[in-house]
Structure 1
């Protein structure tokens, strides 16, 4: 019975920590802080990749010519995974442009409220 009591106390404490963490993340998101690293692939870089990819060049070759414009790795080449991730995000935004615009509008409203 003593072990069951301690197990219940630990589970209650874990749930309280989880709720506090989620509230903190939500508050940070409302302030515009979303965590994680800043993006290294800008819109200009994406458009260059798309143009060269349309010309038939492989992503591996294109990546070697790309330069990260800002941040800690400024002047270096982005990773292949970063290029593919940026292309996937761009494609997703192109498929659902109204959802992207709605999200931007909601974000603007949230920023004005703070």
Structure 2
């Protein structure tokens, strides 16, 4: 009975702790291998005509468990895809954060219409 009560307490307190951490700007999970500085370098060099395969050997992971070696080509492509998504809908991330905060506060976010989505582009 005590173990069951403890599990219920953990189940209730975990979302509260995650929400508090999110509001403080902390995010769970492994930090990204491709930093913002690396991404800017990749974007600049791609604009000058270089391929990801040519750029990859010159990049070095600055921190974390894999500090030192080069990021994989797949990691660079994932970072570029994420950047393209953020550029396509710049307000989408902020809107998603607002929706999550509303859900955590017990409110139901209003649906967005296609015209509103297109305005944010």
Smaller-chain TM-score bracket: 0.5 to 0.7
Structure number with the bigger relative contact order (C-alpha 8 A, sep ≥ 6) is 1
Q: Does 1:35 align with 2:33?
A: no
Question: Which of these two proteins has the greater Rg computed from alpha carbons?
Answer: 1
What is the rounded CA distance, in whole Å, between the counterparts of 2:66 and 2:7 in structure 1? 37
What is the rounded CA distance, in whole Å, between the counterparts of 2:67 and 2:30 in structure 1? 13
TM-score by length of 1: 0.59
User: 1:84: which partner in 2?
Assistant: 77
Matches within 5 A, 1:1-114: 17-54=10-47, 55-57=49-51, 59-100=52-93, 102=94
User: 1:67: Cα distance to partner?
Assistant: 0.9
Structure 1, unaligned runs of 5 or more: 1-9, 107-114
Structure 2, unaligned runs of 5 or more: 99-121
What is the root-mean-square deviation of aligned Cα atoms in Å? 3.1
User: 1:99: Cα distance to partner?
Assistant: 4.0
Per-residue deviation, residues 55-98 of structure 1 (Å, max 9, x unmatched): 042x2332222111233433211123321221122112211223
Secondary structure at the residue paired with 1:97? coil
More helix as a share of residues: 1
**Gap change, CA 1:91 and 1:15, over 3 Å in 2:** farther
Aligned residues, how many?
94
TM-score by length of 2: 0.56
**Gap change, CA 1:33 and 1:44, over 3 Å in 2:** closer
